[in-house]
Amino acid sequence: MTHAIRVHEHGGPEKLLWEEVPRPEPKAGEVRIRQEAVGLNYIDVYFRTGLYKAPTMPFTIGMEGAGLVDAIGEGVTDIKIGDRVAYASGPMGAYAQSRVNKADRVVVVPDGISSETAAAMMLQGMTAQYLLHSTYPVKPGQTIVVHAAAGGVGLILVQWAKALGCTVIGTVSTPEKAALAKAHGADHVVLTSEDLPAAVKRITGGAGVPVVYDSVGKDTFMASLDCLAPRGVMVSYGNASGPVTGFDLGILAAKGSLYVCRPTLGTYTTAREDLVACANSLFEVVKSGKVKINVNQRYALKDAGQAHIALEARKTTGSTVLIP
């Protein structure tokens, strides 16, 4: 037997239950991973509360982890027993001491990157990768806005955008988070209590920015649009404050022929070769030292509920790992 965090009904952090479960056996095309670290992500909150629907109930929650392959199913050729692997997408089931996953969803972690770092960075880091290189490929010299700049994805976005030659305006809720974002390269930090569009206009000499990366959703959507230059791109990639609904398309015309998109990592890594390329790009930038992964909180996996409380209360910075 082994242990996992299971959800039997949607609700608060108290619905994350530490249970004894049978150790899973890999089927054809699957690998079993003895997990060394599990990544905490905001999407776990959405699945816990029911904002996003899990395919089954009860379910083992979690998207991201890293560890050692200790069994492989029939037909698995490119991953072998003993490989250290990581993953960052469905099928869910990461909050577990031992889990099976599809072999084509895991990547081998290179030497020099610990399992803890891999579990902390795969989902947030691959998100930063596709946002900056594919959704809106930034160019050197551009000024961009990054919301929640001291958070998991945010702190990686700030560093990576700087490495690509951008000027970064970050938003954060506290002076402590502002100091952290600045220490990681943010050129300007605007507190959430301030008028963001006014600050952006001031910083850009009235021009606005070509892109806003917005993970906050409901609370920041309109202000983000008001930061954009004509024909600018609003990348709405998360709902930390709640989802954006009931949006009048005419607003995009009135505010300057703007674009809005709502991308997800899953779409950008559906094909195995895209997943591997995205992961390799992340491994490279981390190994180069241009992007540092900040594991600023650690919890025992059985205490995942406490980690969710901290994340939702905006008490975390950088990345958080759960140790099985």
Contacting positions for ligand NDP (CB under 6 A): 41-43, 123-124, 127, 148, 150-154, 172-173, 177, 192, 215-216, 219, 237-241, 263-265, 311-312, 314, 316
CA-to-CA dists, residue 18 to 15, 54, 245, 254, 301, angstroms: 10, 18, 34, 51, 8
Shortest reach from residue 75's CB to ligand NDP, in Å: 29
Of 79 and 158, which CB lies nearer to ligand NDP in the complex structure?
Answer: 158
Residue with Cβ nearer ligand NDP (104 or 219) = 219
Nearest to 224 by CA among 255, 184, 187: 255
Give the nearest distance from C-beta 121 to ligand NDP in angstroms.
11
Give the single-character DSSP code of 23. P
Neighbours of 257 (CB within 10 A): 11
CA 210 to chain centre: 22
Find the shortest distance in angstroms from Cβ 260 to ligand NDP.
14
Give min distance, CB of 182 to ligand NDP, in A. 13
Residue 23, amino acid = R
Ordered alpha helix ranges (H), 147-255:
152-163, 175-183, 196-203, 221-225, 250-254
Q: Which is nearer to ligand NDP, 67 or 154 (CB)?
A: 154
In the 8-state DSSP scheme, what is residue 103? G
CB of 125 to ligand NDP, least distance (A): 10
Residue 297 near residue 307 (C-beta atoms within 8 A): yes
Nearer to ligand NDP, 43 or 209 (CB): 43
Residue 79 or 107: which CB sits closer to ligand NDP? 107
Q: Please say which residue, 25 or 176, places its beta carbon nearer to ligand NDP.
A: 176
Q: How far is the CB of 205 from ligand NDP (least distance, A)?
A: 26
* Residue in this structure with the two tokens 């039997």, named with its chain if needed: 8
By DSSP bridging, strand 84-88 and strand 64-72 are antiparallel
Q: Which residues contact 219 (CB under 8 A, 6 or more apart)?
A: 241, 242
